[in-house]
Amino acid sequence: MSYALFLGCVVPAREPSYELSVRKVFRELGFNLIDLKGATCCAPIPVESLSFKTSLAIAAYNLCLAEEADLDLMTICNGCFQVLSRANLLLKRDEKLRTDANDVLVEVGKEFKGTRNVRDYLQVIYGDLGLEKIRGSVSKSLKGLEVATFYGCHILKPSSVLMFDDPERPHILDDLVDATGAKSIPYLHKMRCCGGLLRGISDDLARKLARDKLFNVSQTQVDCIVTVCPFCFLQLDLGQLEVSRRFNEPYKIPILHYPELLGLALGMTPDELGLHTHRIPTEPMLNKIG
């Protein structure tokens, strides 16, 4: 199974271990991920806030790259997933928006045709492979590990557009965590936003939201938080140092992206997955699984 891999901006630049684990885990699971030549930023909320028309055109440009490669696009960032899915849907169903976008795309020799789909990597693992196959691929069960899952917002909402999972009571990530042998543990306000998009707008509010998330998780004594989105990861990993300092609450909760957790369960070593690049040391949870 082949997909065009859409890297986005944050993952390759700031979270290389996440990209590494995606590449390794997907190869191990039998997927062929193709890098898209010339792909740009998806033009997310900061751009969309200033000019929807520009954001839609840039998203459409990237969708055209996948159409030309004759592949569905696989995202590894909630932001990219939401922007590109929404653009794809709007452009497919609204003729006026499509005509407007194509008027812009003429400038770069592209035309949006609406022949391809956008999928997030969790959908790909869950849908294409399924839980049984994941369980069958696990060579090192993570039994005994207790995990707080954190979906983030833009993989689920707006659900009318993304159609990913129940927007308020999702289960896909929890099921995928449980498939590694680890156990997903509920916690207070699990679905509440991390505040990532408020960074730079109001750092104070962004830190408060991250702090509440870390505080609520810390009450459960789980071994780590498993994230899907690079902004949530940034808020909770690097952000954890800021929060600990600012609120004088020394949190030490390891944060893992799901493919990093799955990589461990597939028998890959922490070094192979680049876990040493995280700001919050992952050793405490790694020692638990031996």
Which residues bind to other proteins, rule: CB under 8 A?
A: 7, 9-10, 12-14, 16-17, 19-20, 23, 35-41, 43-54, 57-58, 61, 90, 94, 97, 103-105, 107-108, 153-154, 157-159, 167-168, 191-193, 195-202, 205, 208-209, 212, 274, 277
Closest to other proteins by CB, 182 or 239: 239
Closest to other proteins by CB, 36 or 131: 36
What is the phi/psi pair of residue 67, to 5°? -60, -40
| Structure tokens that stand for 286 in this block | 């790694």
Q: Is the peptide bond before 46 cis (omega within 30 degrees of 0)?
A: no
Closest to other proteins by CB, 95 or 107: 107
Evaluate whether 23 touches 33 at the Cβ level (below 8 Å).
yes
CA gap 211, 225 in Å, rounded:
14
- The minimum distance between CB 10 and other proteins, in angstroms, equals 6
- The minimum distance between CB 191 and other proteins, in angstroms, equals 8
Closest to other proteins by CB, 86 or 223: 86
CA gap 143, 135 in Å, rounded:
12
SS3 147: strand
- The minimum distance between CB 47 and other proteins, in angstroms, equals 5
| Structure tokens that stand for 54 in this block | 């520009």
Determine the residue type at 186: P
Closest to other proteins by CB, 141 or 159: 159
- The minimum distance between CB 178 and other proteins, in angstroms, equals 25
- The minimum distance between CB 277 and other proteins, in angstroms, equals 7
Q: Is the peptide bond before 158 cis (omega within 30 degrees of 0)?
A: yes
